Each structure stands twice: as structure tokens, then as C-alpha cells.
Amino acid sequence: MLESLNIALPTIDQTRPIAPQLHRRLRERIIRNELRANQKISESEIAEQYGVSRQPVREAFIRLAEESLVAILPQRGTRVRPIALSAVRDARFIREAIEADIVTLLAQRPDPLWLAELRRLLDEQRHIAATHPQAFIAADEDFHRTLSSAAGKSGIWQRVQGLKSQMDRVRFLSLERFDVFKLVVQHEAIVDGIAIGDPAAAESAMRLHLREILKDLPIIATENPDVFDEPSEDVEDRVIHFQGGERS
């Protein structure tokens, strides 16, 4: 039950539309794996915890279902969906296609003001990596969102959010494995490519960065079998290869 998680829940602003607020809060809890795969959640329980009626909760559940984050099962309630490996790979593919084009556009006409902002974000990331690595994902989001804004593609970034939900769940699971400073260096390479007006360098750096998550995906899936859907034989083979073993 949700009560057993002992999580301090942010309050809902009753003067603003409630369903979108609930959607954002529940989405974040699922992505952070605070609400775990296959965990049952109920409209009445969520409504009571946030002090709202069941109708906006129902609307939030529908939006979460559209993002494949929950499954609404007639007569059986609502459960958090496991992470789909295929969805993670698809999201990475889509992000790479979009963001490679974004940095290419930026490198074609480097803007000193945006570059100054990106450099400021890099300084912030170095500090976070050294002091609060758990907060790095939020800083990473700011970086990629700023790239989209600089290219005049903020609307596209908003559309990508729903597509990358499963990828974001993996990112939180992989925090202990990822070398956060390595990710900062990759961000620096992206900004450097933009700054020198080299679209190919910026694009290559972005593609390398977004493919990083796939390197550890097989092992993360194997270490968290309760969080993922059934691993494919392809994933099992790659885990064996990474661990230096052989299939008998």
C-alpha cells in the first residue's frame, strides 16, 4: 500500500486544474521507482492522500495509461506497468534522431547568449556530480531542455516527455552504475561542438551521449527482474557477454 512507503507528498494547488498536477506527481513517482512495477494503486487511495475527489485521479490514471506507465484493469484495479525494454530502445532512438538534429541546428549558428547559459549549466552539473549525484537527472533534464529552447524547439521537447517515460525510469535505476562525471564530459563535448560551429562534432557527441544508457541496460534489467518485463534472449546473451561468460 502507498502508506507503507512513508513518502512526503507535495500538496495540490486547489486553485489550478487538479488532474494535470496529479498526473505530473504520479508520473514522477513512477519514474523514480517510488511506485514500483506491478504495484496496485487505487483511485480512492490516491484521492485521499492528495485531498481531492476521484474524478481528477481517474483522469490522471488515463493519461498515465496512455504513456504505458500504468495498466487499468477492469474489475481488478490499476497497476504500475513494468518497464518495457523495447520501449526504452524506441525512446532512445527517437530522442537521438530529434536531439541530433537540434544540436546540428545550434552548431550552424552558435549563439553566444545560449552558449553562456549552457556553460553555466555545465558548471552546475560539475558541482552536483561532486556533491549530490542523485540530483543529476534533474540537471540533465535542464540541459537537454535548454538545448531544445535554444533551437526554438521547446514544443518538440514537451512532446518527447511522454515518449521517454520508460527511458527515464531506467535512468533512475542506473544512477549507481553511471559515472556522473562521464556524463558531464559528454555534455561538454556537445557544447564544444556547438561553440566551434561544427555540426558533425555536435551531432556525434549527442549520439554517443544518448547511446550510453543502452550499455548498461541488459545488466540493469537482470539486476531488477521485478521492475522489467520479461527479458528477451537477446538481453540475456548480452549480459552473459558483458560478464565475460558463455552460454552453456
Identify the structural domains of the chain with CATH numbers, from first to last: 2-80 (1.10.10.10), 85-239 (1.20.120.530)
Q: What pLDDT score does 122 carry?
A: 97
Digit-coded pLDDT (tens) for 31-88: 988 999 999 999 999 999 999 999 999 999 999 999 999 999 887 889 999 999 999 9
Q: What pLDDT score does 160 carry?
A: 86
Task: Give the H or E element holding residue 109.
Answer: none
- Rounded Cα gap, residues 175 and 104, in angstroms: 28
Q: Which amino acid makes up residue 4?
A: S
CA Rg value for the chain:
20
Q: Please choose, from the candidates 27, 102, 133, the residue with its C-alpha nearest in 3D space to the C-alpha of residue 70.
A: 27
Q: Please choose, from the candidates 75, 78, 76, the residue with its C-alpha nearest in 3D space to the C-alpha of residue 59.
A: 78
The alpha-helical segments, DSSP class H, found in the chain are 18-31, 43-50, 54-66, 85-108, 112-131, 136-150, 154-163, 165-173, 180-195, 199-210, 212-223, 233-242
Question: Low-confidence residues of the chain, pLDDT below 50?
Answer: 1-7, 233-248
Q: What pLDDT score does 8 carry?
A: 55
Q: What pLDDT score does 31 carry?
A: 92
Kindly state the cell numbers that stand for 58. 481517474
Three-class HEC string of 47-107: HHHHCCCHHHHHHHHHHHHHCCCEEEECCCEEEECCECHHHHHHHHHHHHHHHHHHHHHHH
Helix or strand or coil: residue 228?
Answer: strand
- Rounded Cα gap, residues 43 and 69, in angstroms: 15
